[in-house]
Every structure is written in structure tokens, then in C-alpha cells.
Amino acid sequence: MSRLITVVGTGTGASPDPGAVAGARLVVGGRRHLYAVALPEGAERVVLGPLAPALDTIGRYVREGRPVAVLASGDPGFFGIVRALAERFGPQALDVRPGVSSVAAAFARAGLTWDDAVVVSAHGRELRTAVNVCRAYPKAAVLTGPGAGPAELGAALDRAGAGRVLVVASALGDPERERVERVTPAEAAARDWGTAVNVVLCLDEARALGPVRTVAGPLPGPAGWALAETEFAHRDSMITKFEVRALALARLGPRPGDLVWDVGAGSGSLAVECARLGAAVTAVEKAPDGAERIRANAAAHGVDVHVVHGTAPEALTGLDDPDAVFVGGGGRELPDVITACARRARRAVVVALAALDRVPAARAALTGAGLDCDGVLLQSSRLAPLPGDVTRLAATNPVFLLWGVRPAAPTEGVAQ
């Protein structure tokens, strides 16, 4: 197939190149772009609104062998229309001529490199993913949309206690209207930003200038997890052992864009491990010295953990709903804590228990909240040295690990 569709990225604030549409019989784009360029004589103009009708019109022209030009802002291959066009007509049908993306322009205005930034789109998508990425990474760019602009992003970050600065870039490239403003999340939440916002940068300014990189994007995930207990400050061996953490992490599945709660966090070892894997994390701990210990462990491992000093389930009120929850500790209030977590978790709740007597109530709390429950008793023995240069097996305390998983929603059209 010949390249019948020319996709023109206008660059930040720039007008389309008139030569790029020469010969096109159909020109598709936003109103601003369409009326900034002279159309070839006899060409049809389609203002881009809903995508499906525009693609149908483009398809008709392509089938008839008539050339099409599509005008877009910035780099149309970066969260842009190239994906939809390539899926519909194939990459071989496209002649893509990219401009400067709003993300590149915003970082340039801020005087920062962006090879180590995480870029997330909130345009037509859930804002919570962007919020969690901003909480977990020191340098992020958020492509905004209706209902997911600087005010909404700032409110969510302020509520989560994220120590971030927002750089709000509006009308990039327009010499009269361009604005690039640095604000706190609270300041962003208090303003009406209008419709000219292009992108919001979310920065931990102390870490915004990262090291020289070889691979673009966020730092790769850790080479290992289930770290030894010696990697964390803890009190009297009150720490989730690495064998338990290994399975708990497998059942929690923390990943970028997720929010994980660590309730009864103790030393915060599980919270830190989830943060190392790219999730945003809130750790809830009732002991004042425990809360400080969690902060110290997070800082030692170079990750962000939002620490809430309080007693669950009351301390969970006002927190954003999590994707997954780890519940440690025990006590008579444990079933109530599990129930409160299980009702709000989007995906899974994992519970670690040392006391056999508490297992039935914990399991009932998970199933009573509508989760599918399973579990194991973990018993391990570690190699330990003996005099005479020999080795024995030293048993660790057995731990019950229960997990509840929210059932997948039934697929539409599948017989039940």
C-alpha cells in the first residue's frame, strides 16, 4: 500500500506547513490547525471531533486511492493519533512528520532533561494512575484532559501528602498566551486553570537532576526483592521475614500506577519493597517510633512512602482507595481492619498471621467482603553455621499467609 496518509505534527504552538497538505484531497484536524493552513483547491475539510467518524471518512478516501492529510499537535506518535491510524490502516500507509511534543517543550522550559522522566496520560483515562505515578517517581509528566487537570492532580497529591512541585505549562509556543508556572499541589488545587494547559510536570526537586542514563524512562526495577532483614531498621526482630515478603509481593503484584496500603506496617519493609517495584505506597502504623522507622527505611532505600501515624481501621478514613493491601500485626481488631481494607481494595488483600486462632476470623473477613480467599502456612529453615565449620538448619517461626482476590467482572456476552 502506498503512503496515502500524511500525518503532520505541528510542533508546540506552530502552524502546519502548507506544503505538507499539498495534493491532499481530504484534510483532517482540529479547528485551530485546519483554519491556519490554506487547503488545496477542492479538498474536503473534516474538523476532528469523535475519532470513529473521522477514521471512517479517511478510510473511504484511502480505498479510493485519494491522499489524506491529518494535522495534529506536537508529536502525533507520542500518545497521539498515529496509534489509531496505524491500527486501522497499517503503519505502511502513514507518512509521519513529527513536531516537538508538549512534554519535550515543557521540560525545556523548566530547564530539565526528560530521558529519566515517566510520562503518563490522564486524557480520557483514570486520574488515579497519574497520581500514583507522580507519588512514586521523582520526575513525571502528566498529559491532562477534562476533569484531569492541574487542580484535580494537585488536590489528590496534596491529600496524599506528596512532597512535590508542579510545573504547569499552558499554551506552549503561543508568544502571547504561553505560561509556565511552578506551584505547590495545594496552590494548583485552588485555581481554575482553564482549557489551555498542555502538560503538568510533577517534580521532587531534590531528585529532579538524576544521574546520567543509558536507558530512557524511569530507573529499571530492582534486580531482586524479598531483601534480607538486615536491610531494614527494625525493633526486636519485629519485621516481616523475607520468605513471607516474597510470597506477599507475588500476591500483591505492586506495579507502576498502583497504590498499595501497608497496614500495621511495623518497620515498613513490605511498604519499601512495594515502592521499589514502582507502586505508590501508604504505610499505616500506630506506634510513633514505628512511623519514624518507616520513614528512615524508605529514605535509606531512596523511595517515597506516605506514612500515616494512626490506628486502623479509623486511620484508613480519607485515604485514596488502594489497588492492593498488606495487613500485618494482629489483635482483636484484626477482623475489622481486614474488612475495612477488603471493602476498598480494587484487586487484592494479603494478611500475615502468626496466631492460629485468628485465621478463621481473618478468612471470614476476606470472604465476607466478596473476595476469593486462599492461603498457606509458611515454614522455612535457614542455613546456620555450627562450630567445626559445619551447617545446620535453623527453623523460623511459622506464619500463615492468607490472600483475598477480587473476582474479575463477568465479560459481557459470556453466558453465566
Tell me what pLDDT residue 415 has: 43
Are 306 and 389 part of one and the same domain?
Answer: yes
Element (H, E) at 381: strand 381-386
The pLDDT averaged over each successive group of 10 residues in the chain (416 residues) is 85 73 92 85 91 95 95 92 96 94 95 95 93 96 94 96 95 91 97 94 91 81 90 88 96 97 96 97 95 96 95 95 93 93 98 94 97 96 93 94 91 46
Domain boundary at 78, 100, 122, which? 100
Q: Into how many domains does the chain fold?
A: 3
Are 110 and 48 part of one and the same domain?
Answer: no
Q: How far is CA 367 from the centre of its chain?
A: 28
**Which amino acid does the sequence have at 240?**
T
CATH number of the domain at 93, please: 3.40.1010.10
Flag whether 87 is in a domain: yes
| Whether 299 contacts 276, CB under 8 Å | no
Cell output for 47? 474538523
Show Cβ contacts of residue 50 under 8 Å, excluding neighbours closer than 6 positions.
Answer: none
Domain boundary at 38, 72, 100, which? 100
Closest to 320 measured CA to CA, from 121, 160, 155: 160
Are 91 and 118 part of one and the same domain?
Answer: no
| Whether 131 contacts 156, CB under 8 Å | yes
Q: What is the average pLDDT value for the chain, to the nearest integer? A: 92
Q: How far is CA 72 from the centre of its chain?
A: 26
Cell output for 20? 505538507
**Which amino acid does the sequence have at 152?**
E
Are 247 and 339 part of one and the same domain?
Answer: yes
CATH number of the domain at 198, please: 3.30.950.10
Flag whether 217 is in a domain: no
Tell me what pLDDT residue 378 has: 95
| Burial category of 344 from C-beta neighbours within 10 Å (exposed 0-12, middle 13-18, buried 19 and up) | middle
Question: Can you state the angle between helices 269-276 and 288-300, rounded to 10 degrees?
Answer: 30
Q: State the Cα angle at 195 between 192 and 201, rounded to 5°.
A: 80
Are 95 and 108 part of one and the same domain?
Answer: no
Domain boundary at 100, 129, 154, which? 100
Domain that holds residue 161: 103-207
| Dist CA 294 CA 98 (whole Å) | 46
For 361-416, what is each residue's pLDDT tens digit? 999 999 999 999 999 999 999 999 999 999 999 999 999 999 999 998 765 554 43
Are 38 and 94 part of one and the same domain?
Answer: yes
Show Cβ contacts of residue 55 under 8 Å, excluding neighbours closer than 6 positions.
Answer: 84, 85, 88
Flag whether 302 is in a domain: yes
| Whether 180 contacts 169, CB under 8 Å | yes
Are 253 and 152 part of one and the same domain?
Answer: no
For 158-198, what is each residue's pLDDT tens digit? 999 889 999 999 999 888 899 999 999 999 999 999 989 99
Flag whether 74 is in a domain: yes
Are 238 and 346 part of one and the same domain?
Answer: yes
| Dist CA 236 CA 279 (whole Å) | 28
Are 302 and 375 part of one and the same domain?
Answer: yes
Are 235 and 384 part of one and the same domain?
Answer: yes
Are 41 and 175 part of one and the same domain?
Answer: no
Flag whether 216 is in a domain: no
CB contact burial 90-126 (16+ within 10 A = b; e otherwise): eeebbebbbbbbbbbbbbbbbebbbebbbbbbbeeee
Cell output for 36? 491556519
Flag whether 415 is in a domain: no
Show Cβ contacts of residue 411 under 8 Å, excluding neighbours closer than 6 positions.
Answer: none
Q: Give me the phi and psi of 180, to 5 degrees please.
A: -130, 110
Are 62 and 108 part of one and the same domain?
Answer: no
Flag whether 124 is in a domain: yes
Flag whether 108 is in a domain: yes
CATH number of the domain at 237, please: 3.40.50.150
